[in-house]
């Protein structure tokens, strides 16, 4: 795969920062107070981040639906600088009834209503990037993606993506969307590499690949170095955090990769974004790939 160390990348025809901000930790269990979350989003914008990823399911229970979307809209409206170049990507198809479970509804009726509700919470005329959150076994995949296509054709969303998809689903979604699939958001990290085939397919097709939980998840990100010796050793040699090294490694794998680390502290998102300035050699990337 080609190596790219630039600070910006493309999702469809939109240029965004090479690293985005994942909003989930600011809205689910253990979330910080609103002021710290808004400070985190503002710090991301100050650093140069222009991609913020959210979902209507990032909340605590059914009384709190869309908490993260509302939070992001508030943070953007209260930011002192220009936010016209910020792409807010949201998702539909997951639900959280309030017992900690994640349930699914990929029916066209639900997805279309969910998109309308997200539009209102985000306060926009069209959602910049709308993603089908996760395949629903109760609904044929072509029907779910067909609903996303209808939203795109109606101008409710500007770009369409999918999440948690396998290679066959990526090809199928791109066909249903008439070649307009712009992104795939899958789990990918040093501990979770089974989505390498999806990353490689996105590289081949020129579709943005957005790793979620790139640092291993909310509860495990701080243990990244101790769990992965090769990353710890090289991070020590380069005098950077294992987290920063991990994101730089992902950026070096393909120019279509745009990691979206979740964060709820200004200092962690600043460290994450600084990975755009860390250039790794081909040998260093190969060592991490093999670890």
Q: How many CA atoms lie within 13 A of 81 on its CB side?
A: 13
* Distance in angstroms (rounded) separating the CA atoms of residues 62 and 181: 30
228 with 247: CB under 8 angstroms?
Answer: no
Q: CA nearest 192: which of 167, 170, 164, 172?
A: 164
249 with 281: CB under 8 angstroms?
Answer: no
Catalytic-residue membership of 273: no
Q: CA nearest 247: which of 291, 277, 218?
A: 277
Q: How many C-beta atoms lie closer than 10 Å to residue 283's C-beta?
A: 8
The DSSP symbol for 233 reads H
Give the length of the chain: 291
Kindly name the residue from 58, 130, 141, 273 that is annotated as catalytic.
58
Chain centroid to Cα 163, Å, comes to 9
* Distance in angstroms (rounded) separating the CA atoms of residues 117 and 26: 20
Q: CA nearest 208: which of 151, 92, 129?
A: 129
Q: What residues are labeled active site?
A: 58
């Amino acid at each position: 795969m080609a190596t790219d160390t630039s600070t910006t990348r493309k999702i469809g025809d939109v240029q965004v920062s090479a690293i985005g901000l994942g909003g989930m930790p600011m809205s689910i269990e253990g979330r910080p107070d609103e002021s710290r979350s808004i400070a985190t989003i503002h710090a991301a914008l100050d650093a140069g981040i222009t991609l913020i990823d959210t979902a209507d399911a990032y909340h605590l229970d059914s009384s709190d639906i869309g908490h993260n979307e509302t939070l992001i809209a508030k943070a953007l409206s209260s930011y002192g600088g220009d936010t016209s170049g910020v792409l807010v990507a949201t998702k539909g198809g997951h639900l959280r009834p309030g017992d900690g479970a994640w349930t699914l509804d990929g029916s066209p009726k639900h997805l279309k209503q969910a998109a309308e509700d997200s539009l209102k919470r985000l306060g926009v005329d069209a959602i910049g990037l709308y993603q089908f959150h996760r395949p629903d076994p109760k609904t044929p995949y072509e029907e779910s993606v067909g609903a996303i296509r209808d939203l795109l054709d109606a101008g409710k969303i500007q770009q369409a993506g999918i999440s948690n998809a396998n290679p066959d689903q990526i090809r199928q979604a791109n066909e249903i969307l008439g070649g307009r699939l712009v992104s795939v958001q899958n789990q990918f990290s040093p501990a979770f590499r089974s989505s390498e085939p999806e990353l490689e397919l996105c590289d081949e097709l020129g579709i943005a690949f957005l790793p979620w939980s790139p640092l291993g998840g909310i509860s495990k990100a701080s243990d990244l170095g101790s769990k992965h010796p090769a990353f710890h050793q090289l991070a020590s040699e380069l005098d950077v955090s294992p987290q920063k090294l991990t994101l730089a490694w992902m950026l070096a794998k393909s120019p279509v990769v745009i990691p979206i680390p979740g964060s709820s502290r200004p200092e962690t998102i600043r460290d994450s974004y600084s990975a755009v300035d860390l250039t790794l050699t081909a040998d260093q990337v190969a060592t991490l790939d093999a670890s």
